[in-house]
A and B are shown apart, each in its own frame.
Chain A
Amino acid sequence: MTAFRAALVEELAHLWRDRFDLALLTLVPLVCLVVMGGMMARGSPRGLGVVIVDQDRSTASRAIVRAVGSVDALSVIDSVSTLSEAFAAIRRERAVAVVVLPRGLGSARRAATPPTVEIFYQTAFLSTGALTSALLQATITAELARQAPSQSGLAGVALLRVPLPGVEVTLLGNASANLEWYLGLLIGPAVLHLLIAVTAAASLGRELIDGSLGGWAARVGSPVLAVAGRLVPHVAIGTAWLCLWLVWLTLGQGFAFTGAIGLVAIGGLLLFVASAAIAALLILLTGEVATSLSASVIYAGSALAYSGASLPITGGLAFARIWSAILPLTHYVTLEMDQAIGVDLAVWAKQAAILLLAAVVASGGAALLLRRQARRAA
């Protein structure tokens, strides 16, 4: 174990001496996580701009405008007379949606075919647009139903996040449909995954001489143990930051895993072990820090896109499905989201085993290359 311990001590001493490398593992994640946490700390988005085109100007239409204005997340920013003015507000990004209250709305109950209330919403920023349109639809439907008390069946329509004709939708693991909980579970791990991929590769990269770790491997004796010792601080620091992030989300912001947070932390540890092993493999394969770092951005920087967390990868291109299944972050995210809703232990174990397998395969490959480079150098 001396090679392991010597490498560990040497890396810690280096981090102590080199304030830049130390900052990458301390200040950089601190700033990234504080800014990301601060970004979402208000809970669900608020102040989503709505422009009203009120063609009716009746008691009924004014009641709808009041109802929209009373929703926390929405803010009526303007009332204009034409659609083109309203759309300009969307293009200027002052508004997310436009509500058109048609002529005859107030006397709709007497009409054979009542006029249609239209909600135009921008979808270039889909998450904001979809949220706004869903809130508007629910609010306006409820207000219209309230105005028609004779329709007792609909008078009781609850203000649902996803507006349904009364069908009750329950979101498991995220009952309040909270965007902060959803994004928080994705952003923190993705940021740290990329960070540790970078610092681990850069750390080993310091020992490259003419594109080879052979010289260093020959010097340290047991190179595989030395690599492990070298990368342990990165894995430990990554895991510690992830745990802090999970504590912030749960204890700080009040969200809860239906499953066990400890199982998520173990998954995080496995993710960082896999990240470090892949970093070692990349350094040994490329023999260059810059190329290894570029490869890290490609695999870890875009891993969230391939994790299927926003759009499920089923039904996607074959390449995307295969690559998604290979990337460790996919399995970490699955494992974490599974704990959000609470799943059987066997389901957790499967994802954990895949993460472990990724770590074993990458470190096996790295060990083979390292031994070969050491032999050549000797």
Chain B
Amino acid sequence: MTFRHAFESALLEILRTRDLVAVAVVSVLFYAFYYPAPYAHQVVERLPIAVVDADRSVLSRAIIRNLQAAQEVEIAADAPDMLAARALVRSRQVEGILLIPHDVGASVAKGRPGAGIAVWLNGAYLLRAEAVGKTIATAIGATLEARTSGLATPGLAPVVTRPLFNTTEGYRDYIFPAVANIILQQTLLFAAARFVAERRRTGRWQLQRRTGLGVWAACATIGTLSALFYFGLIYWLQDIPHGGNIPALLLTVPLFAATVAAAALMVGSMVRSGDDALKLLIPTSIPFVFLSGFAWPLVAMPGWVQAIAWTIPATPAMHIFIPLNQMGASLGEVRGALAILVVQLAVFGSVAGYRLTRRARVRSAPVGP
């Protein structure tokens, strides 16, 4: 079988076999819309909080009014005291409490920090609590500042924060580009490993090197097209920050797809059947997402965990594609991750090539259930 013949027959088989095309093509299309959907609204909206207004003054009403204008929170209850407010939290009717103490105006005049105003938030959901905490703080800060202008903090340099890249701090624009690498990796891994494992199980795997290369190239082609579809069309359609460095993307995307395809061939050479390939690979999906370092930064992981993380193609992929797509990085700026991807390709490719062309091994391989 020539390289070209192997390439074409693998491509056609993947596209014609129902469960392979379902994973390699249909899933990729599906996830492009399914995964970002729960984050489409981007920011926290209308989180219910209770207010305990012990002051009932012009100032306290101004604070509440300002807070009502913020889209992140909704004043869901006006509790008479802290006991009642805590009961509302315990029955999960509100996500937080804002306490405005008695005589807040006097505290403001004295320059007491925060004027004794206190906020309790449901910290179990840490990410949203931090976002909402910031909103409430800003609203209160703005009100207090307006009241005390002239008195407050003359000569103290203001400190402002400016977000870079994902400037709206949207959740979809943060989570989807990170998870997209895992989606691209896992769909290709599932399909290609299953394809190889099934060919081996049914005795249709041929031992020539060019057959292996043809299958690998076919899988890498599918992976490349999927990634370009995401970074080109889907990011644009969903208006996710994109296109920071297109020439570098065109160079690195095929490298990523080739690495994942090599890893898939390796896994496919080690399992008994296509079902076993899926059973083994599917449960890794969630750990792989977190190991890529999007929620918990890689630098903060212990060395041995970092070492494991860098053996997964999606990890260097994330640290290549996010800088290239979102930050407009140059190829030189992602060279570290790029080098790791090249090493992975060499290792996975060698192992897969060795295992899939070794005659004795294939003969004695278990034929599966």
Residues of B within 8 A of A117 (CB): 157-160
Q: What's the Cα separation between A310 and B295 when bound, in Å?
A: 11
- Determine if A294 and B19 form an interchain contact, defined as CB atoms under 8 angstroms apart: yes
Residues of B within 8 A of A187 (CB): 286-287, 290
- Residues of B297-337 whose CB lies within 8 A of A: 297, 299-302, 304-305, 308, 319, 322-323, 326-330, 333-334, 336
Residues of B within 8 A of A140 (CB): 159
- Determine if B91 and A39 form an interchain contact, defined as CB atoms under 8 angstroms apart: no
Residue among B23, B38, B89, B175 with the most chain A CB within 10 A? B38
Q: What's the Cα separation between A156 and B114 when bound, in Å?
A: 11
Interface residue count on the A side (C-beta < 8 Å): 134
Q: Which of A166, A169, A311 contacts B115 (CB 8 A)?
A: A166
Q: Mark B265-283, 1 if CB is under 8 A from A, else 0.
A: 0000001101110111011
B144 on the interface (CB 8 Å rule)? yes
- Determine if A48 and B282 form an interchain contact, defined as CB atoms under 8 angstroms apart: no
- Determine if B283 and A28 form an interchain contact, defined as CB atoms under 8 angstroms apart: yes
- Determine if A293 and B275 form an interchain contact, defined as CB atoms under 8 angstroms apart: yes
Q: Which of B38, B114, B178, B327 contacts A168 (CB 8 A)?
A: B114
How many chain B residues sit at the interface, stated as a range, is 35 or more
- Determine if B92 and A293 form an interchain contact, defined as CB atoms under 8 angstroms apart: no
Chain B residue nearest in CB terms to A109: B155
Residues of B within 8 A of A165 (CB): 113-114, 137, 140-141, 144-145
Q: Mark B35-59, 1 if CB is under 8 A from A, else 0.
A: 1011111111111000000000000
Residues of B within 8 A of A156 (CB): 113
Chain A residue nearest in CB terms to B151: A153
A6 on the interface (CB 8 Å rule)? no
- If A35-B305, A183-B296 touch, does A92 touch B285 (CB 8 Å cutoff)? no
- Determine if A127 and B164 form an interchain contact, defined as CB atoms under 8 angstroms apart: no
- Residues of A104-143 whose CB lies within 8 A of B: 105, 108-111, 114-131, 133-134, 136-137, 140-141
Residues of B within 8 A of A182 (CB): 123-127
Residues of A within 8 A of B308 (CB): 35
- Determine if A169 and B121 form an interchain contact, defined as CB atoms under 8 angstroms apart: yes
- Determine if A319 and B37 form an interchain contact, defined as CB atoms under 8 angstroms apart: yes
Residues of B within 8 A of A202 (CB): 275, 279
Q: Which of A32, A178, A316, A323 contacts B40 (CB 8 A)?
A: A316
Q: Which of A24, A183, A185, A343 contacts B92 (CB 8 A)?
A: A343
Q: Which of B120, B241, B328, B336 contacts A170 (CB 8 A)?
A: B120
- If A110-B155, A309-B125, A320-B38 touch, does A183 touch B295 (CB 8 Å cutoff)? yes
Q: Mark A273-309, 1 if CB is under 8 A from B, else 0.
A: 0000000000000001111011011100110111011
CB distance from B290 to the nearest CB of A (A): 6
Q: What's the Cα separation between A174 and B319 when bound, in Å?
A: 30
Interface segment, one of B128-136, B210-218, B342-350 = B128-136
- Determine if A157 and B300 form an interchain contact, defined as CB atoms under 8 angstroms apart: no
Residues of B within 8 A of A154 (CB): 111, 113, 153, 156
Main SS of the interface on chain B?
Answer: helix
Q: Mark A11-27, 1 if CB is under 8 A from B, else 0.
A: 00000000011001000
A324 on the interface (CB 8 Å rule)? yes
- If A124-B165, A174-B123 touch, does A48 touch B159 (CB 8 Å cutoff)? no
Q: Which of A116, A123, A144, A153 contacts B165 (CB 8 A)?
A: A123
- Determine if A111 and B22 form an interchain contact, defined as CB atoms under 8 angstroms apart: no
Residues of B within 8 A of A244 (CB): none
- Determine if B110 and A342 form an interchain contact, defined as CB atoms under 8 angstroms apart: no
- Residues of A304-350 whose CB lies within 8 A of B: 304-306, 308-317, 319-320, 323-324, 337-338, 340-344, 346-347
- Determine if B45 and A314 form an interchain contact, defined as CB atoms under 8 angstroms apart: yes
Q: Mark A78-93, 1 if CB is under 8 A from B, else 0.
A: 0000000001101111
Interface segment, one of B166-174, B223-231, B249-257 = B166-174
Residues of B within 8 A of A338 (CB): 92, 124
- If A41-B302, A182-B124 touch, does A162 touch B164 (CB 8 Å cutoff)? no
Residues of B within 8 A of A21 (CB): 279
- Determine if B126 and A179 form an interchain contact, defined as CB atoms under 8 angstroms apart: yes
Residues of B within 8 A of A372 (CB): none
B363 on the interface (CB 8 Å rule)? no
Q: What's the Cα separation between A178 and B129 when bound, in Å?
A: 12
- If A156-B113, A290-B19, A311-B44 touch, does A183 touch B141 (CB 8 Å cutoff)? no
B291 on the interface (CB 8 Å rule)? yes
B353 on the interface (CB 8 Å rule)? no
Residues of B within 8 A of A110 (CB): 155
B202 on the interface (CB 8 Å rule)? no
- Determine if A151 and B113 form an interchain contact, defined as CB atoms under 8 angstroms apart: no
- Determine if A341 and B295 form an interchain contact, defined as CB atoms under 8 angstroms apart: no
- Determine if A290 and B38 form an interchain contact, defined as CB atoms under 8 angstroms apart: no
A267 on the interface (CB 8 Å rule)? no
B204 on the interface (CB 8 Å rule)? no
- Determine if B118 and A167 form an interchain contact, defined as CB atoms under 8 angstroms apart: yes
- Determine if A162 and B133 form an interchain contact, defined as CB atoms under 8 angstroms apart: yes
- If A36-B287, A190-B286, A343-B92 touch, does A137 touch B159 (CB 8 Å cutoff)? yes
CB distance from A266 to the nearest CB of B (A): 18
- Determine if B123 and A341 form an interchain contact, defined as CB atoms under 8 angstroms apart: yes
- Determine if A177 and B130 form an interchain contact, defined as CB atoms under 8 angstroms apart: yes
A49 on the interface (CB 8 Å rule)? yes
Residues of B within 8 A of A36 (CB): 287, 290
A198 on the interface (CB 8 Å rule)? yes
Chain B residue nearest in CB terms to A198: B282
CB distance from A82 to the nearest CB of B (A): 16
Residues of A within 8 A of B45 (CB): 312, 314-315
Q: Which of A298, A305, A337 contacts B124 (CB 8 A)?
A: A337
Residues of A within 8 A of B68 (CB): none
Name 5 interchain pairs, CB-CB below 8 A, sorted by A.
Answer: A35-B291, A114-B157, A122-B165, A148-B156, A183-B290
With contacts A123-B167, A156-B113 known, what are 9 further pairs, Cβ within 8 A? Answer: A42-B300, A109-B156, A123-B169, A126-B174, A134-B130, A294-B278, A317-B40, A337-B122, A340-B124
- Residues of B at under 8 Å CB distance from A? 18-19, 22-23, 27, 30-31, 34-35, 37-47, 89-92, 110-115, 117-131, 133-134, 136-137, 140-141, 144-145, 153, 155-167, 169, 171, 174-175, 177-179, 186, 190, 194, 241, 271-272, 274-276, 278-280, 282-287, 290-291, 293-297, 299-302, 304-305, 308, 319, 322-323, 326-330, 333-334, 336, 369
Shortest beta-carbon contacts, A-B, top 5: A166-B113, A171-B123, A153-B111, A315-B45, A166-B114
